[in-house]
Structure 1
Amino acid sequence: MTLYSAIKVVIITEKMIAKGICNIIEQEGASGYTIMAAGGKGSHGVRNISDRAAVIDDFSDVRIEVIVTDKERAKSIMKKVAEAYFNEYAGITYLDEVEVLRLSKF
């Protein structure tokens, strides 16, 4: 089995801006992304998955993951997301070096 190097960008932010972030990801040429519910504690306090989602779903948090084949594209996604949203909305982004089985998917 051969594994290939790739870069995973992780963005944790407010659900209400997820669509705009996904637009940036697509504009940068990524082939897809994964979105899942997120919760935790940070500089904006505690964000619980179940409690907040029960009140108003748009105020919940999400974790968006996208895998790309080169670090420059990953950095560009991170920069554009941060510039477009992180001055007004809660959010963090980071990258991980990962290994994937089917590089053609990314």
Structure 2
Amino acid sequence: MTKDTGDARLSTGAGAPASREVSWWAAHEFLEAALAQANCGPLPTAGTPAWSALADGDPRKLLALAVAGEHHVLRVEIGQQCRAEAAEDVWGGADWSEVARQVKRRREIDEMRRGAA
């Protein structure tokens, strides 16, 4: 678990942290160890009636939420990878000087058309 430093930015993601990179594997390993230590058996899926029926103090209720949160971490990591790959494809796939010239030409033509109207 994390130490409470009194700085809300650490837990909410606000501000400018050193890195916003998300690692599903690190989260998975941590959760796997926590589940092994809890030794609580099968968990109901978070949000289901079986999960709702657990007492609020039942550790399985919180652990089930953590398992569901692991899925979110995986989705964030995959999204990061996809954005990085797309950025590389865009950057490597165009002559940006030519793109800038084309944009400038289009703007000049648009200005000429507006002036003529």
Q: TM-score, length-normalised on structure 2?
A: 0.22
Higher relative contact order (CA 8 A, sep 6+): 1
Which has the larger strand fraction?
1
Larger radius of gyration: 2
Q: TM-score, length-normalised on structure 1?
A: 0.24
